[in-house]
Amino acid sequence: MSSLFNAPVSQVYSWEPSNTWIAARHGVDPASILRFDLNTSTTTPAHLAEVLARTSWDPPIHESPDSLYGELAEAAAGYVGADRYEILVGAGMDDVLDIVAKTFLPPGGRAIVPIPTYSMYGVLTSQRNATIDAVPRRPAAEGFALDVDAIVDRLPGADVVWLCTPNNPTASAESPAAIRRILDAAAALGARGPLVVVDEAYHEFTGDTFVGERAAYPNLVVTRTMSKAFALAGARVGYAIACRPTIERLERNRPPGSVTTISAALAAHALREPAYALETAASIPAERDRFGAALTAAGWATYPSVTNFILARIGTPEVAEAATLALLRKGIVARTFGPAHPLRGHLRFTVRSRADNERLVAAATAFTEEAGR
Ligand code: PMP
């Protein structure tokens, strides 16, 4: 078996290489690798083991899942305070976003993408043969805020607006007033107005939400994931919340069985007992702010974050590349931004345990001291 069997292949969207590949390429012990690139939880919730054991027989694994995912949809509805028929479930939020694109973004259509933001919006738009209408955000000094005037100007004739709050990868929250202005302007265009997606993947870290606006704005779809605060990224479960007619349109493009029985049971259990996820989320800010300050002191200036990850300015794209390599040689994986990305020269880091974060800070300090010599 080749040790490179997980080598990155050319594809439109992927994340950083696997531990196996990094270990082989950089000569590090795979067990020592720390992933700062995925924005996922760093521990597996222990109490879910019991659910895993039970799901091998109830419902039986040899049966297909309930194609309506009643238990999961009800658990999600209970968690967000919506009706079960205002929920669409999918195999991770990426699957949900794909269903949204299939439903509302026709070939030749146009989607507004405030950049930088989550890369999948552009990927899904291209996959639909629709046009990416990239609207740059305000500069870092203005908190990467949405350029609301520019977005509102471009709403007529657009099919979808992809919004993300808190925004990945800037780690900043969008202003609720800005999102409401976009929703109002889109609603004012009537049936010809675009669908507005509000991606709340990192909702649990702030508590802010637009779920309560779904009745007022039939063109609003809020999306959530079990991958972040709920620590179930490997289970692949996400869901959307919208008014019932909008969910009914989305349901027509939903595959009947994309979420496994095991994942559906795990996610339903987690949503019914969300305390651990909310406690984990609540524990993040203290360590995040300490970690951010330490990175800044080490010479990698960090931006304010309201999430479980931090964006840092490293320097020129070449310096950021050298830093990435220096970290990889120490078994530390950062989220990188390619030469065409508006955040080239930056790296993004997940907030991990204090000890893990200290390993990164030490590596950053060694790198900047070496560079300054
Ligand atoms: N939206 C955002 C903003 C994300 O950061 C991510 C995960 N990287 C997703 C959606 C996709 O989440 P999932 O794992 O549920 O597909």
pLDDT band at residue 58 under the 50/70/90 scheme: low
What is the Å distance from ligand 1's center to 3 Cα?
A: 28
For ligand 1, atom 5, name the residue with the nearest CA: 168
Q: CA Rg, the chain, in Å?
A: 21
Query: Residue 311 is which amino acid?
Result: L
Whether residue 5 is predicted with pLDDT greater than 60 in this model: the reply is no
Mean pLDDT of 294-306: 98
Does any ligand 1 atom lie closer than 6 A to the CB of residue 350? no
pLDDT for 49 equals 78
Beta bridge partners of 224: 239
Mean pLDDT of the chain, nearest integer: 93
Per-residue pLDDT of 105-128, as tens digits, reads 999 999 999 999 999 999 999 999
Question: Is the entire prediction scored with pTM above 0.85?
Answer: yes
What is the Å distance from ligand 1's center to 366 Cα?
A: 32
Which residue among 13, 225, 310 is best mutated to probe the pocket of ligand 1, counting the most ligand atoms within 8 A of its Cβ?
A: 225
Does any ligand 1 atom lie closer than 6 A to the CB of residue 92? yes
Mean pLDDT of 66-83: 97
Mean pLDDT of 27-43: 91
Does any ligand 1 atom lie closer than 6 A to the CB of residue 225? yes
pLDDT for 12 equals 60
Does any ligand 1 atom lie closer than 6 A to the CB of residue 93? yes
Whether residue 339 is predicted with pLDDT greater than 60 in this model: the reply is yes
Alpha-carbon distances, residue 72 vs 65, 94, 214, 300 (angstroms): 11, 17, 20, 42
Which residue among 98, 120, 221 is best mutated to probe the pocket of ligand 1, counting the most ligand atoms within 8 A of its Cβ?
A: 120
Per-residue pLDDT of 313-330, as tens digits, reads 999 999 999 999 999 999
Mean pLDDT of 147-165: 98
Give the N- to C-terminal CA distance of the chain in Å, as an integer: 43
Neighbour tally for 227: CB within 10 Å: 22
pLDDT for 43 equals 80
Q: What are phi and psi of 359, to 5 degrees?
A: -60, -40
Higher pLDDT, 6 or 27: 27
Alpha-carbon distances, residue 127 vs 105, 229, 324 (angstroms): 10, 29, 30
Mean pLDDT of 30-50: 86
Give the CA count within 13 Å in the CB-facing half-sphere of 310.
28
Which residue among 38, 94, 174 is best mutated to probe the pocket of ligand 1, counting the most ligand atoms within 8 A of its Cβ?
A: 94
pLDDT for 59 equals 66
Atom number of ligand 1 nearest to Cα 95? 16
Percentage of the chain beyond pLDDT 90 is 86
Mean pLDDT of 26-48: 88
What is the Å distance from ligand 1's center to 238 Cα?
A: 9
pLDDT for 4 equals 43
